[in-house]
Structure 1
Amino acid sequence: MSNDQQATVHLGEALAWLRTLETASADAVITDPPYSSGGMLRSDRTGTTKAKYTDSATKSQYVDFSGDNRDQRGWGYWMTLWLSEALRVTKPGGVLVMFCDWRQLPTATDTMQSGGWVWRGLVPWIKPDARPQLGRFTQNAEFVAWGSNGPMPVEGGALPGYYLARAPRANEGRQHITQKPVDVLRSLVQIAPRGGLVIDPFTGSGTTGVACLHEGRRFAGCESVPHHHATALHRLAVARGAAVPDGMQGAFDLEMS
C-alpha cells in the first residue's frame, strides 16, 4: 500500500478489502468492475481478456486482468455482494458511479438496487472511433450507472449528461486493456465533495486515483493483479509529481453536456 495520505492502493481482492474499511467512511465509490462480457455465450466469456477486448495487433502489449470469466448468474450474485459492502462503507447521501457495457447493463442496474443503492440513472460514454458494424447499429457506447446511499443533498454544480471521448490508445500510454480516459474520470469524481474520499475496489491502472489527485479528492483503491497494482502506484506518483512520466496517458478531447 502506498504511504501517501491522499492516495492509497491495496494489493488484494476487492470484497475482502471492502470489509476492512470503516462504515460510512467514503463519500463516493467510482469504479470500473470486470464486465464478464465480450460475448453472448459462456464459451465467449471464458476467454482471456486479451482475446476478448484487444485486436491481434495490440494483444501482446497488455497483461490480462482478473474476475472477467463469470457466467451471468454468477456475475450478478458477485456484484450484489460487493455492492452491498460498498454501500456500508459509503456515507448516507454518498454516491456510486460504475461503468458497464450494453450486455451487462440490465444486470448491473438490478444488482445496484439489490445491493441497497437508489438507482439514479445512466450517463453514456460515447466512443467516436468505435468499429462500425455492417448491417447493424454500431455499439459505440459504454455506460455509467449511478446511484446513491439513500437521499442525496442538493449541492454542487451540474455535471454532464453524457461524455464524448475516445479511449486511450497504445501509443498514448495506454497501460490496461479497459483503461478509461482521464478527462472523463476527472469530471466523474466531481460528484464527490472537494477533499472527500473516493474509493475504487477495481483500481486497474489507477485512472480514478489519478483523476482524484488532479481534482482535489482523496483516493483509496484495491487491485488484485500485481502488474496493474504497480502500474497504478506509478501513475499516482506521476500525478503527484513524485515520478518522471514515461509516455503514459495524456489528455483527451472531451465534449460534455
Structure 2
Amino acid sequence: MRWQLFQQDALTWLHDQSSNQFDALVTDPPYSSGGLHSGSRTADSANRKYVNDEKKYPEFSGENRDQHSYMLWSTLWLTEAHRILKPGSPFLVFTDWRQLSVMINAVQAAGFTYRGCVPWDKTEACRPQKGRFRQQAEFVLWGSKGAWHGKDGPTYPGVIRCSVMQGGPKLHTTGKPVPLMDALVQVCPEGTVLDPFAGSGSTGVAALRSGRRFVGCEREQAYFDIASERLGTVNSTTL
C-alpha cells in the first residue's frame, strides 16, 4: 500500500507502533507560538493566532502549551518517533523563531543527532511589520538517528525560497506549500516517510510524488478528511 493515514492523537499513535520500521521523519508539529505575549500564545482559536480569521480554515488544537510544557511534550513525541525509525533515518522538523531553541534541545533530548537548520524563506509576500524586520522565515531542523544514511547524492540547498501560496492555496491554517515539501523529501532515502502531524497532507503528497511511501497521523477530523482525499488522488512520478 502506497499510503496510510490514521485519525488519532500523535503521541498515543506513536507509542503503539513497533520499533525500527520507518525510513524518515518529516513533520510540521504545532508550534504553540504565534504571539509575543502569553495571551496570544494561549488563544483558543488557532486561526485567530495565525491568520486573524476564525472561519477561513478548520480549527486545530494543541496550540496552547507554554514553553516548558511544549518542550516536554516535544521531547516525548520525538523520543517515540526516534524509536520507530530505522537506524540512520533522517528527521526534518519544522519550527519558528520563538520555539527554535526549544526544538533544538528537544530533538537532541530524544536521542537524535542534530545536524543543521534549513531556513524556509517565505519571500517578501509575508506580512510586513513597519519599522521592524520581516518575520520572513520558518526553520527546518534536520539530522538523523545515529549515522547519516548515506554519503552519495547531490548537495541540497541550505535555504529554500518558496512563497506560502506557491503550488496552490493553503488548505490548513499553517499549511506548507507542496513545492517546499517536494524539495525537502529529496534528502530522504527510498522507503516510507513518517508524519505524525499530517495536517492537510502536504508531506504525504510530496512523498508519494517522489515515489516514496507515506504513513501519517492526524487527530482533527476535518484535516484527516482533507488529507485522505488529497493522498488518494496523487500520481507518483516514479511508481
State the TM bucket, normalised to the shorter chain.
over 0.9
After TM superposition, what 4+ stretches of structure 1 lie above 3 angstroms from structure 2?
none
Is contact 2:78–2:106 with CA below 8 Å preserved after alignment? yes
Q: Deviations over 1:214-257 (max 9, x none)?
A: 0011100000000000000001112149xxxxxxxxxxxxxxxx
Partners of 1:206 and 1:12 in 2: CA distance:
15
Instruction: Say whether residues 1:100 and 2:95 are aligned partners.
Output: yes
Instruction: Say whether residues 1:176 and 2:172 are aligned partners.
Output: yes
What TM-score do you get using the length of structure 1 for normalisation?
A: 0.87
Partners of 2:28 and 2:97 in 1: CA distance:
14
Task: For residue 159 of structure 1, report the CA deviation from its aligned partner.
Answer: 1.6
CA 1:197–1:172: 2 relative to 1, 3 Å: closer
Aligned residue number for residue 18 of structure 2: 22
Residue 68 (structure 2) aligned to one of 73, 83, 104? 73
Aligned residue number for residue 224 of structure 1: 219
Task: For residue 41 of structure 1, report the CA deviation from its aligned partner.
Answer: 2.5
What TM-score do you get using the length of structure 2 for normalisation?
A: 0.93
Partners of 1:41 and 1:147 in 2: CA distance:
31
1:29 match: secondary structure: strand
Instruction: Say whether residues 1:121 and 2:116 are aligned partners.
Output: yes
Partners of 2:98 and 2:6 in 1: CA distance:
30
Is contact 1:168–1:179 with CA below 8 Å preserved after alignment? no
2:86 match: secondary structure: strand
Partners of 1:135 and 1:51 in 2: CA distance:
23
Is contact 2:170–2:176 with CA below 8 Å preserved after alignment? no
Residue 183 (structure 2) aligned to one of 175, 183, 187? 187
Instruction: Give the aligned residue type for 1:51.
Output: R
Instruction: Give the aligned residue type for 1:168.
Output: M
Residue 133 (structure 2) aligned to one of 126, 133, 137? 137
Q: Deviations over 1:42-86 (max 9, x none)?
A: 221111111011134xx4221111111101100000000000110
Q: CA RMSD in A?
A: 1.5
Is contact 2:170–2:177 with CA below 8 Å preserved after alignment? no
Return 5+ residue gaps in structure 2 as ranges. Answer: none
Q: Deviations over 1:172-228 (max 9, x none)?
A: 44210011010111111112123x110000000000000011001110000000000
Partners of 2:176 and 2:34 in 1: CA distance:
17
Instruction: Give the aligned residue type for 2:68.
Output: R
Instruction: Say whether residues 1:52 and 2:49 are aligned partners.
Output: yes
Instruction: Give the aligned residue type for 2:86.
Output: K
Aligned residue number for residue 249 of structure 1: none
Instruction: Say whether residues 1:32 and 2:28 are aligned partners.
Output: yes
Residue 164 (structure 1) aligned to one of 157, 161, 164? 161
Q: What's the % identity of the aligned pairs?
A: 44
Task: For residue 168 of structure 1, report the CA deviation from its aligned partner.
Answer: 2.3
Aligned residue number for residue 250 of structure 1: none
